[in-house]
Every structure is written in C-alpha cells, then in structure tokens.
Amino acid sequence: MCGRFAQVIKHNQLKKLMDELDIRNKDEQLEINYNVAPSQPVGAVIYKGQDRFLTFFRWGLIPSWSKEPSSKFSLINVRSETILEKPTFKNALLRRRCLIPATGFYEWRKSDKQPFFIYRKRSEKTPENASVFDELLFFAGITEYWNGADGSYIQSCAIITTDANATMLPLHDRMPVILTKELTESWLREDYKDPEGLRALLKPCPTDWIDTYPVNKMVSSTENNSEECLKPISI
C-alpha cells in the first residue's frame, strides 16, 4: 500500500517534468511536502483532450455519488486487481487517470514499525542530464470530482497499488504502481479506454528500479514535515 509519500520536486526536475511529458500548463508551483498525508493536496498530471496539465487533487478519492466528503468512502489506495469490479473505479480508470510524481514513499516494517523510504535508484552510469524518470517515481492514479449540495467542489485522487516486487517485499506485500516513461504515454492518452489493456499496465516496477533506507520515526507523525524526514539513519 502507500499511506505516506514525499513530493519534493526541485525546480530543474519540474522543468524536466514539463518538457518530457509535454505539459501545457500548471496551476501553480508545486509545494514542497516531505510527508504527504491523506486529505492533503498533491500535484498530479492529467489529460484534457490533446493537452496535459499539472494540477492539484485532495489525496483520498471521494466518489461523486457520496452525499458528503466523508472519510468513510474516501480511499487513498485502490487495488489494481479489483479496479474493474466496481463501477466508480472502472469509470475513473477509463476516463479520469492521473500521474502522480513523487520523490519516494514511506513504508513501515511490520516487525518493529521502523519506517523506510523507498526511492528511485540511480546507478553510477546515470548521467547528470538524466530523464526525470531516472530521478523521481511516477504513481498511477485515478481521479474523481465531487459536487456538494451547497455548491462546494472537491477534486480528489487515489494511488493504484499492486503486488510488491522483490525489493519491496521485506517491508510490505503491496506497493504503488510505478510507471515507466513508455507506459506513461499510454496511461495519459485520453483515447485509450481498453479496460484490460489499462489493467495490464498496472504491474510491479522492475526490482532494480527502487531502493530503500531507514528513516527517523518522526515521519510517523503527520505534524512533522521537514527534510529531516528524508534523511537516512543507522539502525
């Protein structure tokens, strides 16, 4: 699963992101968040017609049919294996997909509740002018738009999860779907609406794509949001 992540997109990474994904516009500058928690705003790439935009969503999908934005129905994660079984998720998969850039995500080891940070592994051969896909993780997500009876409006999102790969498995049996640049092209195509074809994209990323290190338990509190959250520790 994914219950906490970091979205610390540096200026040069944002420029690469805009260029490589051919993003036409963004609502505003991405806010630095070292400890993104459910219900907080996250930046995500969406498509509208032939264009792509970087905009903001509340993390925690609120179904359009919900009478209120209650946490009872709000989901931060959606399982890839069952995403076609419920109309709300299936419709979002076919029509409202998004791509969520992240510096990495946190997971807690079950045996001792020790948090770890999972990030994009860089090899010694990775050049300085590498693609943004060599620097960040890109989660597959779905979005929803909720309108309240009082005229209020909330756009929300959820991260799609899949089975853990070998790197992730010592920490948890689930992980976010992390898309390669090639898979992203299909994911962000508005005219691509083949259910099984889309679900086929939702698989674990290659084992050597990611690595992990332990971090301070301060990250367990949503009140802590600083670069200290990302610093490796010795255990």
Per DSSP, the three-state class of 158 is strand
pLDDT tens digits along 145-167: 988 778 788 999 999 999 999 99
Residue 8, both tokens: 């610390």
pLDDT tens digits along 93-117: 999 999 999 999 999 998 899 999 9
Instruction: Give dist(CA 128, CA 106) in Å, integer.
Output: 26
Q: Report pLDDT for 69.
A: 75
User: Could you tell me which residues come within 8 angstroms of residue 184 by beta carbon, excluding any fewer than 6 positions away?
Assistant: 21, 99, 133, 138
Instruction: Give dist(CA 95, CA 145) in Å, integer.
Output: 12
Q: Share the mean pLDDT of the chain.
A: 91
Per DSSP, the three-state class of 77 is strand
pLDDT tens digits along 30-44: 889 999 999 999 999
Per DSSP, the three-state class of 11 is helix
* HSE of 139, CA atoms in CB hemisphere, 13 A: 35
Q: Report pLDDT for 124.
A: 63
Per DSSP, the three-state class of 174 is strand
Residue 24, both tokens: 């036409």
- pLDDT class of 2 with cuts at 50, 70, 90: confident
Instruction: Give dist(CA 134, CA 200) in Å, integer.
Output: 22
Max distance between CA atoms of the chain, in angstroms, equals 55
| Positions marked active-site | 2, 107
Distances (CA, A) of 114 to 107, 171, 218, 219: 8, 9, 10, 10
In order of start, what are the domains of the chain with their CATH numbers?
5-230 (3.90.1680.10)
Tell me the pTM: 0.94
